[in-house]
Amino acid sequence: MTVAWIGDRDVPITQAIERIAELLVSSLCPVFSLDTDVHGTRAAIALAERVGAAYDRLGGDGVARETALLTDRGGFFVAPGEARRRADVIVIAGQLPAAHHALVTEIAATPPDLAGEAPKPRQVFLVGAETQAAYLRKAKTMRLACAGADLNGTLAALRAQCAGRAVTKPVSDFARFAQAMAEARFAVFLFCGEMLDAPGLEMLQGLIGDLNRKSRASALHLPASEAGWGSSLASTWMTGFPLRTGFGRGQPEFDPWRYDVSRMIEEGEADLHLCIAASGDQIASSRKNLPLVAITPTDRPIAGAAVTLAAGQPGVSHDAVVYSSRVGTLVSKTAERRADDLPDAASLLRSIARQLPGGKALPC
């Protein structure tokens, strides 16, 4: 089975790894895109330090917005288990990615068991005219929307009305919402950075902060990407900083604009792109003339890649540690099948590091 290619040509894996090391050494501004588990991320960050690379989530805008909520403001957050067991009112703030639909359906369909002696079925509200929740087939939902306003506008009006301020365009069914909030033991707002931008996230947390003056409410973070959030956590403990950190000057520097890897590619700052992806289709064709190193499960070279290495799939062909929205933390995922025997991204990255000048092993 072929596992390594230089351009379109099959090569022994050692040769491909040497070629990647050469590319990294000659690059002045390498960038890494990550779509891998915690151990793949750890090895990638350790390698980034060695070669002075910047790193980001592959397609990382949603994760970056969620990160910015924490770095700029903070907020109220709740564990998914507590949301499931305690939330008597659920408010879905904007469209949620399909990856979370099964979980939200399950939460909506189960009665909370820690919401008092005789818990009633949960009430579900949808914020924003565009927010769809067809996946919640059985749940009765109530829409909160403002004529002519987008999601942020609706959230702003909701917060204002909750605080008793007058608004020009009131939120539909506000009275029902106000009553639900008055009666709620623990209201949980579901949010994701994929669809909600920085002002929207901020407004949502502002509303939750207001509610906590008198009663209890919190937010369940359903990340734009579970793998991305796992990478962000690992990056934070390893370097002190989340994704969009760069080692261009030796020490890690966090700058969500400067080290936005898509921007660095588009604007011609990057001169080498190393992409670790859970699936080959996710590797978008790079800027023209930008050498691409692809590390991904594949049985053929990735179109346009200078070097392709076939890697296993985290949690599928090898054991992995991933973030799970079901428990709100990192979990160990046992391989479903080990038949293809492909190495994990972490060990490939460690092999690359050993080919760098000095040949020292990575610290993880």
Partner 1 sequence: MLTRITGGEIVDPVNGRIGQGDLWIEDETIVAAPVDGRADRTIDASGCVVMAGAIDIHSHIGGGNVNTARLLLPEHHAAHAPRPANTPLSNAGWSTFETGCLYAKMGFTTVVEPAMSPGSALHTHLELADIPIIDKATLAILGNDDFLLSMIRDNASPQMIEDYVAWTVGSSRALGVKVINAGAAAAFKENVRTFSFDDVVPFYGVSSRRIVKTLQAAVTSLGVPHPLHVHCNNLGASGAAETAAETIAAAEGVPMHLAHLQFYSYGTEGKRKFSSEAARLAELVNSTPEITIDIGQVMFGQTVTISSDVLRQFSARGSANPKKTVIFDGDGNGGGVVPYRYGKDFYGSLQWAIGLELFLLINDPWRVFFTTDHPNGAPFTAYPDLFALLMSRDARKEAAAGVSQKALSFSTLGSIEREYTFEEIAIMTRAAPAKLLGLKDRGHLGAGALADVAVYRKGEDIAQMFRSAAFVFKNGDLVVRNGEIENYRWGKALRLNPPPDKAMVRRLDAYHQERYGLSLDWFDFPDSAIQREQPFGEVSCNT
- CB 4, min distance to partner 1, A: 23
Residue 255 or 341: the one with the smaller Cβ distance to partner 1 is 255
Residue 110 or 285: the one with the smaller Cβ distance to partner 1 is 110
User: Whole-angstrom Cα distance, residue 77 to residue 79?
Assistant: 7
Identify any residues that bridge with 220 across adjacent strands, giving them in sequence order. Answer: 190
Instruction: Say if residues 328 and 337 touch (Cβ distance below 8 Å).
Output: no
Instruction: Say if residues 234 and 42 touch (Cβ distance below 8 Å).
Output: yes
Residue 29 or 330: the one with the smaller Cβ distance to partner 1 is 330
- CB 132, min distance to partner 1, A: 24
Residue 291 or 314: the one with the smaller Cβ distance to partner 1 is 314
Amino acid at 160: A
104 Cβ neighbours under 8 A, 6+ residues apart: 92, 96, 133, 135, 136, 190, 222
- CB 17, min distance to partner 1, A: 20
Q: Which residues bind partner 1 (CB under 8 A)?
A: 38-39, 42, 46, 49-50, 67, 70-79, 81-82, 84-86, 106, 110, 113-114, 116, 185-186, 212, 215-216, 218, 232-234, 236-242, 249-254, 319, 321, 324, 326-327, 329-332, 334, 346, 362-364
Residue 76 or 174: the one with the smaller Cβ distance to partner 1 is 76
First to last CA, the chain: 28
341 Cβ neighbours under 8 A, 6+ residues apart: 312, 317
Nearest partner of 112 among 125, 123, 126, judged by Cα? 123
Q: Provide the CA 209 distance to its chain's centre, in angstroms.
A: 24
237 Cβ neighbours under 8 A, 6+ residues apart: none
Residue 186 or 191: the one with the smaller Cβ distance to partner 1 is 186
- CB 92, min distance to partner 1, A: 18
DSSP letters for 246-305: EEEESEEEE-TTTT-HHHHHHTT--SEEEEE-SSGGG-PPPSTT--EEEEES-SSPPTT-
Side-by-side strand order, sheet with 272-276: 9-10, 4-6, 307-310, 292-296, 272-276, 30-34, 54-57, 245-249, 251-254
Residue 111 or 268: the one with the smaller Cβ distance to partner 1 is 111
- CB 116, min distance to partner 1, A: 7
Q: What tokens were used for 315?
A: 């949690």
Residue 120 or 169: the one with the smaller Cβ distance to partner 1 is 120
Nearest partner of 51 among 32, 38, 74, 70, judged by Cα? 32
- CB 280, min distance to partner 1, A: 25
Residue 142 or 331: the one with the smaller Cβ distance to partner 1 is 331
- CB 107, min distance to partner 1, A: 9
- CB 26, min distance to partner 1, A: 20
- CB 34, min distance to partner 1, A: 16
Q: What tokens were used for 221?
A: 């973070």
